[in-house]
A and B are shown apart, each in its own frame.
With several copies, the nearest count.
Chain A
Amino acid sequence: MQRNHNHTTIVTIEKVIDETPTVRTLIFSDDRMSNVLPGQFAMVWIPGVNELPMSVMISKEPGKAAFTVRKHGPASTGLFNVKEGQQIGIRGPYGNSFDLKEGKLLLVGGGTGLVPMMRLLSFVKSTDDVTVLIGAKSKDEVFFEDLANNMLKNNPHKVIVSTDDGSYGEKGFVTDLVEKLVNESNFDGVYACGPEIMMYKTVRSAHSRNMFVQASLERMMKCGVGICGSCCVGEDLVCRDGTVFDGDHLSSNKEFGHFYRNKAGILEKY
C-alpha cells in the first residue's frame, strides 16, 4: 500500500476559486485524496515548476478534493497560477492526523493553516461545542469564515476572526484570544495549524493548563516520505512522525517554535 501512495498520479484541476487576492482553492477529482484524514497532506508536483507539500482541502462534492494555496515563493506561485484544465501530479496522502476529542473543542488556524481545520470540522459530532479562531493580518486575508460557520450550523459554535490590524473582527494576535479562552474555560481538545509562533503559543497556553492540544507542523519538505531529512524538528521528522504532534511531545522539543532548517539544512531562528 505504502508503495502505491508514493506513485505520482496526474489529476486535472477542474475548478479554481479565488479566496483572497493571494489565496486560491484548486479542485480536482481523486477518491483517495477526498478521503484523507485531517492533517494529512500530499506532495504536489507542478510540472516544470516544483513540487511542494499541501494539506488536502475538503470539497463539497464526493470523490473530489482540493488544495488551498497562498501565493508566496516560486513553488506556491506556480501552483497558484494553475488554470482550470491544467494537470498537476500528486502523491500521498502522507502523515498522521489529528486525534479528535469530543465535547468542547477549540480550533486555531492561521492562513492556509485553516485547511486541515476545515477537514477536522467535517469530522466533529453534532453535539460538540466548537470554537474556531481564524487569525489573519488584515481583512483582505480572511477566508473560510463562512465555510466554517456553514459547516457548524447544526452545532453549538462560535467562529471568531481576529486581525492584527483590527480591520476585521477582533483586533490583535489570535494567540492572545487563545490565552483568554483557555483561561476562561476548559477545552477537551485544542487544535492548531498555522504560523509556527501561533502554534507555539497555542500549545503553551493549552498545555500549561493540562489541556489536550495538538499542532500540525510545517517544515521544508523534499521527499515527504522520511528519507531526505529536510523536515526534521529535533529528533522528529515532520513528514513521517507528524505532521500532527501532541502538546506533550512538542513541549520537550527544543526546536519547535524557535528554529527551522533552510534548504541547505542549516538551523535558522524564526
Chain B
Amino acid sequence: MEPSLATSIGQIQLDRPVMLASGILGISLDVFNRLYRSGAGAVVTKSLSTEPWEGYPNPTIFSVKGGGWINAVGLSNPGAPNFAKMIEPNQEVPIVVSLVGSIPEDFEMMIQQFENCKVIAYELNLSCPHVAKVGLEVGDDPELVRKIVTIAKNTTDIPIIAKVGLGTTHYLNTVNTAIDSGIDAITAINTVRAMAIDVETQRPILSNKFGGLSGTPIKPIALRCVYEISSKHDIPIIGCGGVSTWEDAVEFFLAGASAIQLGSAVGNDWIDVFSEINNGILQYMKRKNYSSIKDMVGLAKKS
C-alpha cells in the first residue's frame, strides 16, 4: 500500500505535511493556487495587520554565508480587510491566515474579516514589536499572550496556532501560556534576530539594521525547540526553520512535529522544493514501512 502524506495538526487536516511559511510569496490567491498545485499542503499568508503596512525600505533581505537569509521586510501587508476580500473566492487551497497585532482587540477585528473565507486555521505571529514595552515582542509578555489567545479562541471556532520564536523571554514560557489559554497548535520557530554589516561601506546592510535570520543556519535551533516543546507538552507542533530537504522535514517529524513549514528554501530551490520534499518523504516512508506521517512523529524521543 502506498503510504499517505496526509497529516493532522490537531483538528487541522492536511493532504501533505509541507506548508509554505508566513511571509513567503503569501500575497495573492493566484500564487496560493499555484503553490498548492505544486505540492504545498497549505499556505500561510503574510502576517496581516488591521491596516495596510508598507514595511521597511530596501534593502530588506540579505543572503548570508551558509545558505541563510536575514530579512527585515517589516511585515509589509495589505491589511486584513483587503486581504480577506482577495481570498474570498478561494474554494480549493488550504489557507492559514497569519495575524499580527499589538492589542488583543486587533485579533478579534481581523478574524471577523475572514468570516466569509475558507480558512483552515489562524496563526498568531507573536513576534510583533510590543507597543508599550520598547525592545520586547508581544510574545515576551505572558499576560498579553494570554489575552490574545483567549480573544482569538472566543472569536472563532477555527483552530488557532501560536507561532513562537526566540524572543527576549524563554519561548517555552510563551508556549506554556498559549497552551494554558487554549491554543490548538504551536508553530516553532520564527526567524532569529540577527544582523549583517558591510565592511566596505561600514554600515548595517538592512535599512532596519536588524533583521530575522532564516534558512539552513537556524535549522538545528528550530529542531531543538520542537523537540523541547514536544518533550514537555502534548500539543500538535508545526516545525519551521531551515527545512530545505526531505531529511530536514523528517528530522522535524522525528522530533515531534506533525507538519513543517518552509520559506527560505523557496529562495534557493524555487517552488519545486515542495514536490521534491514530498517525494523524498514518500520514498523514506516506503523504505521504513510507514503508512502515515503519524507513524514517525516523535520517534526520536524514544531513544
Task: Please tell me if A237 contacts chain B, counting CB pairs below 8 Å.
Answer: yes
Select A226's contact among B25, B30, B46, B62, beta carbons within 8 Å.
B25
What does the 1/0 interface line of A245-270 toward B look like (CB < 8 Å)? 00000000000000001111111000
Task: State which residues 26-55 of A face B: CB under 8 Å.
Answer: 43, 45, 47-48, 50-52
Give the shortest distance, in Å, between A230 (CB) and chain B (any CB): 7
Determine, out of A5-13, A170-178, A183-191, the stretch whose residues face the partner at the interface: A5-13
Interface size band for B: 35 or more
B41 contacts A by Cβ under 8 Å: no
Nearest-neighbour CB distance to chain A for B61, whole angstroms, equals 4
A227/B263 contact (C-beta < 8 A), A2-B268, A48-B303 known: yes
Q: In the complex, which of the residues B27, B203, B207 contacts A230, with contact meaning CB atoms closer than 8 Å?
A: B27
Q: Which residue of B lies closest to A86 (CB)?
A: B201
Which residues in chain B, 33-80, are within 8 Å of chain A measured between CB atoms? 33-34, 46, 52-55, 57-63, 65, 67, 69, 71, 73, 76-79
Contact A87 B25 (CB under 8 A): no
Question: Cβ of A3 and Cβ of B77 under 8 Å apart?
Answer: no
Q: A47-B203, A87-B201 are in contact. Are A227 and B24 (CB under 8 A)?
A: yes
Residue B179 at the A interface, CB < 8 A?
Answer: no
Residue on B with the closest CB to A221? B58
Residue A203 CB within 8 A of the other chain: no
A45 & B205 in contact (Cβ 8 Å cutoff):
yes
Contact, CB under 8 Å: A222 / B268: no
Contact A264 B198, CB 8 Å, known A3-B63, A227-B263, A229-B46: no
Q: Which residue of B lies closest to A262 (CB)?
A: B54
In the assembled complex, A89 has its CB within 8 A of some CB on chain B: yes
Q: In the complex, which residues 208-225 of chain A have their Cβ closer than 8 Å to any Cβ of chain B?
A: 222-223, 225
A6 touching B63 in the complex, CB below 8 Å, given contacts A87-B201, A222-B73, A264-B55: yes
Distance to closest chain B CB from A228 (angstroms): 6
Q: Nearest Cβ in chain A — how far from B125, in angstroms? A: 16
Within 8 Å CB of A48, what residues of B? Answer: 201, 203, 303
B131 at the interface (CB under 8 A from A): no
Q: List 27 A-B contacts (CB under 8 A).
A: A7-B63, A10-B200, A45-B205, A48-B203, A50-B58, A51-B58, A52-B58, A89-B205, A222-B73, A225-B267, A226-B266, A227-B24, A227-B267, A228-B25, A228-B73, A229-B24, A229-B25, A232-B30, A235-B31, A237-B25, A240-B270, A263-B76, A264-B53, A264-B55, A265-B46, A266-B52, A266-B79
Residues of A at the B interface (CB closer than 8 Å) are: 2-3, 6-8, 10, 43, 45, 47-48, 50-52, 74-75, 87, 89, 91, 222-223, 225-230, 232, 234-235, 237, 240, 261-267
Closest 3 CB pairs of A and B: A6-B63, A51-B58, A264-B52
